[in-house]
Amino acid sequence: MGLKKRRILDLVEENYVFASVLHHFGIDFYDYQEQNLAEVCQQKGLKPELIIASLEDVIEDDQEHLQYLMGLPVDLVIAYLKHKHFSFVKHTLPYLAKLINCYPGQGGHTVINDIKWLFPLFVEDFIHHMHEEEDSVFQHILQIDKALKGELLFSKLFFDLRKYSIKAIAHEHQSHDDVMLGIRELTNNYYHEKEAPVLLKVIFSELQSFEKNLIIHARIENEVLFPKALLMEKELQKMVSKYSILN
């Protein structure tokens, strides 16, 4: 049987990530569980072929980006990381929030009620962390990059080089990497019974997928961005010292 004729519920049970693909096209799977893909597409005015292509190409391996990003200049690495931040805030987190809020309050799984309480607090703290990172850490590294390129006077960074240390920033970042710890413990490592509702399975799957993306994101910062920034900082400090001696 082709994908067009398969029930939405069956598609999602086969691969929980399919729920996010359908959501991208304006189809919330829990509202169309008993209908097949062709029927839903007809109602929504969508081309089934377009959705099927997305379903078949749903797995993206961000780990491949590590090697690629290592060869890029630091400003492009930061641009990539900021784009991922934007994607988390505009797409991933709202989708997760919608799934969690749509789960019935009396659905027989008390852990969901706890997640409904905890998740908004997590989102607020997570967004604050991202803004702080972009406004201070990323901005400082970009300033160092500009100074090395001759686009910014050394004197503009003299006090910042004493105030900020890339090594200290990297160490602090690594010590705060496990932002999903509370949710992971609350869900017992995203464990659910085999007979649990599909919506619960999708929620746990998406939370786990989000955590994996955060781990890859942190690796890019720890293994690509900070090593590059540390070398740049040392080079700039040498140039500043040499300039100070000459003057």
Residue 77 and residue 47 in one domain? no
Using an 8 Å Cβ cutoff, are 183 and 122 in contact? yes
Instruction: For residue 44, give its domain range.
Output: 3-56
Residue 59 has a pLDDT of 45
Q: How many domains does the chain have?
A: 2
Same domain, 77 and 181: yes
Q: Same structural domain for residues 52 and 71?
A: no
Q: Are residues 196 and 230 in the same domain?
A: yes
Same domain, 15 and 131: no
Q: How far apart are CA 242 and CA 247, in angstroms?
A: 9
Same domain as 102, residue 50: no
CA angle 210, 216, 221 (to 5 degrees): 125
Last residue of a domain, one of 56, 78, 95: 56
Q: What pLDDT does residue 247 have?
A: 55
The domain boundary residue, chosen from 11, 37, 56? 56
Residues 168 and 232 in one domain: yes
C-alpha to C-alpha distance for 83 and 162, rounded to whole angstroms: 29
The answer to whether residue 106 scores a pLDDT higher than 50 is yes
CB 179 within 8 A of CB 129: yes
Euclidean distance between CA atoms 208 and 79, whole angstroms: 25
pTM assigned to the model: 0.81
User: Are residues 149 and 125 located together in one domain of the fold?
Assistant: yes
Q: For 169-226, write each residue's pLDDT tens digit.
A: 888 877 665 778 889 889 988 998 888 899 999 999 999 999 988 988 988 999 999 9
Residues 125 and 212 occupy one common structural domain = yes
d(CA 240, CA 246) in angstroms, rounded, equals 10
Proportion of the chain above pLDDT 90, given as a percent: 45
The Cα 199–Cα 103 span in angstroms is 7
Q: In terms of domains, do 91 and 207 share one?
A: yes
Residue 42 has pLDDT above 90, yes or no: yes
Query: 141 and 206: one domain?
Result: yes
One domain, residues 138 and 35? no
